[in-house]
Amino acid sequence: MSRSTGLRAKIGIAFILQAAAVSCGAILGVYAAAAVLQDVLIKRALKEESGHYLALLRERPDLPEPNTYNMRGYLLRPGQTQDSLPTDLRVLGPGFHTLRRDEGKPLAYVTDSESGRLYLMFDQEQVGRLAVWFGMVPLALVLILVYFATWLTYRLSKRAISPVIWLATTVRSLDPRKPDLSALSLEQMPPDVEGETEVLAEALRGFAERQTELIERERNFTRDASHELRSPLT
């Protein structure tokens, strides 16, 4: 087994690693964006919702508690007991809290005002699922384009290095004792051999021809010298 890896295999490994790195980076980017959405944007949205609701409450004291698809609010007015609150909200102080419930981990935001203590609960897992879903669809399209571009580039690179591989295979198959130099002639070269590879093939053929001539000259000299040395002795 050869200790060195072929040029084609090395290029293939490089393209595979490149595609894998791009895929990992894209997937991590989607999850990082979802994490930022849940940790930063949702908290900011809850603060703004709380401020907006309390501002409306000052104008309309009978305003109902917030109740939307992803958010539920509770208002504990001054003098009221906590019996109307869910059990896991009663122990919470002002600020953000992550609750643990069977249906998920909603994010709670508690704030105090002259109108009372406002509790807002937001279903961040629902938003997180939507963020991941809407991130995965563009990600899939991007990965398809990346894989297609990688495959196309690999095919072009494979076509570019095929003359070099042909030259290496041809030179390796030559018999050093009696090389068939016609294999390196222009007539025997594949159509895609051109440029530097063609120049290198011509140079190798010329070098091999000179080596063959030198070897043949050395053989003739040795034979003649041996004959001349034997003649006086006989």
Using 50, 70 and 90 to split pLDDT, how confident is the model at 3? very low
Q: Indicate the burial class of 174 (C-beta count within 10 angstroms; 0-12, 13-18, 19 or more).
A: middle
Residue 90: CB atoms within 10 Å: 13
Domain segments of the chain: what residues? Answer: 7-130, 174-225
pLDDT for the residue numbered 1? 40
CA-based angle 73:75:78, to the nearest 5?
170
Task: State the SS3 of 102-116.
Answer: CCECCEEEEEEECCE
Bridge partner list, 109: 96, 120
Measured CA to CA, the distance from residue 96 to residue 77 in angstroms comes to: 20
Kindly give, in sequence order, each residue whose CB lies less than 8 Å from that of residue 123, ignoring residues fewer than 6 positions away.
70, 71, 104, 106
Using DSSP's 3-state secondary structure scheme, residue 28 falls into: helix
**Is pLDDT above 70 for 144?**
yes
- Position 52, amino acid: H
pLDDT band at 120 (very low <50, low <70, confident <90, very high): very high
Report d(CA 159, CA 162) in Å as an integer: 5
What is the predicted pLDDT for the residue at 195? 67
DSSP for 37-96 reads IIIIIHHHHHHHHHHHHHHHHHH-TTPPPPB-SSEEEEEE-TT--GGGS-GGGTT--SEE
156-210 pLDDT, tens digit per residue, is 887 777 777 777 777 777 766 666 666 666 666 666 666 666 777 777 777 777 7
pTM check: above 0.75: no
Identify the residue with better confidence: 10 or 108.
108
| pLDDT tens by residue, 36-95 | 776 788 888 899 999 999 999 999 988 999 998 888 999 999 888 888 898 889 889 999
What's the pLDDT band for 146 if we cut at 50, 70, 90? confident
Q: Could you give the CA distance from residue 32 to residue 30 in angstroms, rounded to a whole number?
A: 5
